[in-house]
Structure 1
């Protein structure tokens, strides 16, 4: 058995992303992944989407159906716990269901664990947009000191041609780690329903003395919109709520106050820019989220 055959893969499924899940599973299998290595948690989808999964997912892929939508962190933890009890699994890969992996992806991704010292905690690949396979979606991160957080590096000029790069945090879109890491740092924080659970987990991993690497020799494609994608009220609301939670959990009271003030300023600035770009409806969403946040 090759080392990459010991990777257990956790996918979450919800409603109309079901077709993405099917395509992701098929790509994993074509890349050389065994069906038994894949665990799908359906987060309380409508019956018609569950039926699609049951009908089209290959028979040896493990599926579990959550009676409620428990969010990203808790859903991932359910998958992690499943693989913790499997003796033939040594690594766990959290992978978004709206991704496409190339052939030999697992073999390429796992190499830092095989060639570097045990301080390697998490490895993530270079991630491109699926709509533009030359445009980087995730290539490490940039730290924003004014709000105490990070943005994805999308500048190809800042990414080496090959090899591994240390990075402060990674993305829950695709992260590989040893099972033993969970024993040392714990699970993803289930207080986060969606967004920032990956950043929070990354900081826990680094505080425990482990490295987080971007493996440029491995890549995937992510089905997300480009910068022209419209602002969504639900996503904006979850993102801002999770950001506030992240700041509260990871910084002192003075820094929390400073970062929150700066975040409000940044959101207001973003709302004004949308108005100037004649995207008034989307700017209303930004200001509505801010107003609701202040009132709570």
Structure 2
């Protein structure tokens, strides 16, 4: 496991200057990034915010233009694609806020969303992460919460039992198909599209594990948060617009393989010895078959 670099505590004193640091990792979604930055300008967090953008060598990122339009933003352009985990870790090491807000570049914050999440952390001392309700551009609420990927849950999902029995908390466990995302509740792993994170938690458990460069680093982080005794909350009162998959779609079929590798890494790191080996093997096999099937489908579609 690699979690490179110092934890944020090595940089930060006890009294932080800003209420929150907004951390954004951009890869080839610069038009959407601009819209996000404009929304942060319209709806800033009270108590002060700093914005840090790591650009992962995007071919559509005009650094000079962004610096002219957004002088309040700290840009960290990279010469290579660091990935999601390392990109966020870089931003974390440069942050100074009391709390941390991770945002994907294909999001836009709405009025009061940041304050709702930050207030939730302030009023719930056991909460490590507060995640908002994600809304597609057409107003549809996105199903953004999952349970941890226990092998049986993955098998049920592969068998499409969550579609046949969406109200079952057992068969629909992984995708939480029984949950309507209109109520505030504790969850295992909300999508890292938007998180408000308590800085002291990062100081306690460490940064994102860079052995999960693109996918499943958020799942691993949530697992470590829960293992350390903290709570993770989905806060429906906070709403954030989410285009959805703007970055990962540019990765093409390679993202299917990355998802499979991330799941297998997660099992090896966190579930070995906690669940029967045969169950892990079956879930890993199903994940691999799904990866192969989706990759072949994508190639056939591209050839048409």
1:68 matched residue in structure 2? 80
2:71 pairs with 1:59 = yes
Give CA-to-partner distance per residue, 1:235-279, whole Å, 9 cap, x none: 11111111111111111167455323223235536877x7xxxx9
* In 1, Cα distance between equivalents of 2:70 and 2:135: 27
How many residue pairs get aligned? The number is 264
Match of 1:196 among 185, 200, 216: 216
Q: How does 1:100-115 map to 2 (within 5 A)?
A: 100-115=108-123
CA contact (8 A) 2:67 2:73 kept: no
1:281 matched residue in structure 2? 297
1:10 matched residue in structure 2? 23
Give CA-to-partner distance per residue, 1:47-101, whole Å, 9 cap, x none: x523465355411211011222111001001111111xx3xx2000111011111
TM-score between the two structures when normalised by the length of structure 2: 0.76
TM-score between the two structures when normalised by the length of structure 1: 0.77
CA contact (8 A) 1:123 1:213 kept: yes
What is the RMSD of the two structures over their aligned residues, measured on CA atoms? Answer: 3.2
CA contact (8 A) 1:244 1:260 kept: no
Larger mean CA deviation between 254-263 and 55-64 belongs to: 254-263
**Higher RCO, 1 vs 2 (CA within 8 Å, ≥6 residues apart):** 2
CA contact (8 A) 2:39 2:109 kept: yes
CA separation of 1:137 and 1:179: change in aligned 2, threshold 3 A: same
CA contact (8 A) 1:5 1:33 kept: no
* In 1, Cα distance between equivalents of 2:130 and 2:185: 10
1:133 matched residue in structure 2? 139
CA separation of 1:57 and 1:78: change in aligned 2, threshold 3 A: farther
User: 1:220 Cα deviation (Å)?
Assistant: 0.8
CA separation of 1:249 and 1:53: change in aligned 2, threshold 3 A: farther
Gaps of 5+ in 1: 286-296
* In 1, Cα distance between equivalents of 2:121 and 2:209: 24
2:238 pairs with 1:218 = yes
Match of 2:58 among 39, 42, 45: 45
SS of equivalent residue, structure 1 residue 38: strand
CA contact (8 A) 2:43 2:111 kept: yes
2:41 matched residue in structure 1? 29
User: Going by fraction, where is helix more abundant, 1 or 2?
Assistant: 1
Q: How does 1:240-259 map to 2 (within 5 A)?
A: 240-252=260-272, 255=276, 258-259=279-280
